[in-house]
Structure 1
């Protein structure tokens, strides 16, 4: 935990937020971990990095952009290739930037970052995220972006928490309320429209054990429940961890940590709420276009759940 980390607590919940990347470093209930977190210097991806983007925020795009190239309103842009192995620009621009905390209370913090525009993405945005802890409902997160430029801006958001229940994923039970999955190639880029999960190994609409299923998969067609939230629940023998996302996040990237070395291998499940799918800057699918002064919001949360609630 970095020295500039911010601790929030309510009831049996405790969260630690780092300034770098506005990172959710830790979330516990009764002292037990609900997420696999990372210190603020744990930047990386898969086996190639020191970490796996644990708890980071992804903006102004989540996931990957093919060759870092996209065209917006008739102009072509080139992003830095940050995943050289696959030739993609990954997880946006702010996951390793220092955010500024405001309005700190025992149960809430707001962090902001001014993205002034840079090569490959010359669109100024005011970004903010509010982390809030409640003794009954756990952690809630509100991420916002406002276009402070004079032209329209393409925008997408995602977050990168890993859920853990203290047992290997093979032994855990998953409830994933997604009707569709996105097929991808060996570079993890979309190869066609979303496909129905019915009858495939990716159908977890009824809770069942993960077993040997490997995920590095974007899902959509999420089924909303109470208050319009879709709930993904990872459950072990003693407790479950639920992640909800509202309609602002129509996609979930699920990653079973198979590419991670050592004890991290298949020990936690990344469930990444996203406003758009992989390669959205290039394809336009699900991409938000913010006019001058316009604002975008995304909401999700994490809480402890009884294992029977999966």
Structure 2
């Protein structure tokens, strides 16, 4: 399959295709740059000559979202990560976003890239990680597998940060469905405050489809409920009801973050909706909620995917 080696800000571009579907994964962070089906963009992604901003399409390993103060307890001691969101005093979105991933397999409709988390300040563990993107008759499927190559147990979480578009100028007009009973309130630092709260009777309840409207979302949902396909799926649909996309949440997913992009740079705000499958909620390294503890040699898999549809 073709891949470009030109001097782009995100390195080599790995294209896969099947029928009327095509997708592009980039060398930098194994980020998902582009996906379209039937001639319609499914993602609000980025061009090959652009730098990644707003986390678009990035893999969040070995933790998604934020860790307050970058500090967490582990094995009777404390670990201190660099503060990669200094304005809020947090460590954000893991350690592999700005790392070159290497192609392990590349076929017509499938690509696999791999990278290593090496022991470092705040995370003294080694993980081997591989991300597989495959196009099938039902859409795009993503599987991210991490294996602990350390001699000690390692804390672990994983997420990904695609932005969906329903073909509207702003996400406000798009119709959203989120099959979740609970949401996490956050404070000024973007980290959870208190226990998960029921969405019943709040503006955050999207269990019945309705337009996003002017609501600002940077919200983690839990209490995910499976749909007719046997797994939860977040749906973003065009207001006409003629087409849309289901982002399904598979093996290893315990939470999903929605972000309307109100804090992004001018011109990028509310253009698409970030729908982020996560193995754990924000700050799980501190709270322990749904935190994965990988024993030496143990592996973890996160699966999610995109199913574009037309009525």
TM over 0.5: yes
Residue 272 (str. 1) matches residue 273 (str. 2): no
Aligned match of 2:156: 155
Residue 179 (str. 1) matches residue 187 (str. 2): no
Counterpart contact for 1:228–1:247, Cα < 8 Å:
no
Instruction: Tell me: CA distance 1:99–1:173, structure 2 relative to 1, closer, same or farther (3 Å).
Output: same
Q: CA deviation at 1:263?
A: 2.5
Counterpart contact for 1:55–1:159, Cα < 8 Å:
yes
**For residues 78-97 of structure 1, what are the structure 2 equivalents within 5 Å?**
78-97=80-99
Q: CA deviation at 1:264?
A: 1.4
**For residues 1-310 of structure 1, what are the structure 2 equivalents within 5 Å?**
2=10, 4-38=12-46, 42-43=51-52, 51-134=53-136, 136-167=137-168, 168-236=170-238, 237=240, 238-306=242-310
CA distance in 2: counterparts of 1:247 and 1:184, whole angstroms: 26
Runs of 5+ consecutive residues of structure 2 not aligned to the other structure? 1-7
Counterpart contact for 2:11–2:28, Cα < 8 Å:
no
CA distance in 1: counterparts of 2:45 and 2:172, whole angstroms: 20
Instruction: Tell me: CA distance 1:3–1:112, structure 2 relative to 1, closer, same or farther (3 Å).
Output: closer
Q: Deviations over 1:161-218 (max 9, x none)?
A: 0000121111110011111000111111111111000110000001011111110000
Q: CA deviation at 1:262?
A: 2.6
Let me know the Cα RMSD of the aligned residues.
Answer: 1.4
Q: CA deviation at 1:32?
A: 1.8
Counterpart contact for 1:231–1:245, Cα < 8 Å:
yes
Q: CA deviation at 1:259?
A: 1.0
Aligned match of 2:3: none
CA distance in 1: counterparts of 2:297 and 2:304, whole angstroms: 24
Q: TM-score when scaled to structure 1?
A: 0.93
- Between the two proteins, the alignment pairs up a number of residues equal to 299
Q: TM-score when scaled to structure 2?
A: 0.93
Q: CA deviation at 1:85?
A: 1.0
CA distance in 1: counterparts of 2:99 and 2:200, whole angstroms: 40
Aligned match of 1:48: none
Counterpart contact for 2:251–2:301, Cα < 8 Å:
no
Runs of 5+ consecutive residues of structure 1 not aligned to the other structure? 44-50
Q: Deviations over 1:237-286 (max 9, x none)?
A: 34201100114111001000111233211110000000001111111111
After superposing on structure 2, the runs of 4+ consecutive aligned residues of structure 1 that deviate more than 2 Å are: 38-43, 225-228
CA distance in 2: counterparts of 1:85 and 1:235, whole angstroms: 35
CA distance in 2: counterparts of 1:12 and 1:233, whole angstroms: 21
| Equivalent position SS for 2:267 | helix
CA distance in 1: counterparts of 2:34 and 2:176, whole angstroms: 21
